[in-house]
């Protein structure tokens, strides 16, 4: 991680879960982190909880990744303040219960906008910064085992609807970005991290109780992210699937 000292990492969905965990761990490793979240106050609480010497390394910016204007405003501020982006952790994601055949199309669209277009919006801006400065950048996409296998739910009628299709899209985006980054002659690497069950706000309490100890912590995923970006420039971890031992799915 030494080569990332004082470099700039942007983390989306940083107010809780994996985003909060990786923001803390990156800061502890000496990386300047810009934490993007709709709930900026939650990130400010995280900053206040850090040791005094680490607090200046974490910056909170309000951003809704599903909204292009919000993303552009946030990245304009990042470029103006820090000069560029070296690492992008596309972590923001959401899900809504229901069935595709009956649920409100606007709810379906909101998941698509966050889980797919949010990645596209943020990666465009981050890649532009990395390419223009000719740096060895790294883009990480937080995917899911649902991006490799359709998991509709536990028993009964599936309730995950568009979530798994959006994560399959993330799997395809990873390979598309790899080809584009190479074809455009950049030094930027791409990695997809696909966790199984993780103890975050996106997972319902009923499912957490059912899984019991067979669940990952956000820091388990953060550790994987730091390992991935810590690899030498000639090593690219394209896909990492992480499951808790004994997982049901």
Catalytic residues: 163
Determine the Cα–Cα distance for residues 24 and 45; give it in Å rounded to an integer.
Answer: 12
Strand partners, 240: 193
Determine the Cα–Cα distance for residues 90 and 93; give it in Å rounded to an integer.
Answer: 9
Residues 6+ apart with CB under 8 A from 121: 65, 68, 71, 72
SS3 191: strand
CB 203 within 8 A of CB 187: no
Choose among 120, 136, 37: nearest CA to 84: 136
CB 198 within 8 A of CB 18: yes
């Amino acid at each position: 991680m030494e080569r990332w000292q004082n470099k700039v990492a942007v983390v989306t969905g940083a107010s809780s879960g994996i985003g909060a965990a990786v923001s803390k761990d990156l800061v502890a490793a000496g990386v300047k982190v810009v934490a993007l979240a709709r709930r900026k106050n939650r990130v400010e609480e995280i900053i206040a909880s850090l040791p005094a010497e680490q607090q200046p390394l974490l910056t909170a910016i309000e951003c809704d990744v599903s909204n292009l204007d919000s993303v552009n405003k946030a990245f304009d501020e990042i470029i103006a303040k820090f000069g560029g982006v070296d690492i992008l952790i596309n972590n923001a994601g959401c899900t809504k219960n229901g069935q595709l055949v009956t649920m409100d199309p606007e709810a379906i669209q909101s998941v698509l906008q966050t889980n797919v277009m949010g990645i596209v919006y943020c990666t465009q801006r981050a890649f532009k910064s990395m390419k223009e400065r000719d740096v060895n950048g790294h883009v990480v996409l937080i995917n899911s085992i649902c991006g490799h296998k359709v998991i509709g739910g536990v028993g009964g009628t599936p309730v995950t609807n568009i979530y798994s299709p959006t994560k399959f899209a993330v799997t395809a985006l990873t390979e598309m970005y790899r080809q584009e980054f190479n074809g455009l002659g950049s030094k930027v690497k791409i990695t997809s991290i696909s966790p199984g069950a993780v103890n975050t706000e996106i997972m319902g309490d009923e499912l957490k109780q059912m899984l019991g100890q067979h669940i990952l912590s956000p820091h388990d995923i953060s550790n994987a992210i730091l390992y991935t970006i810590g690899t030498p420039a000639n090593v690219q971890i394209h896909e990492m699937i992480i499951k808790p031992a004994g997982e049901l799915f």
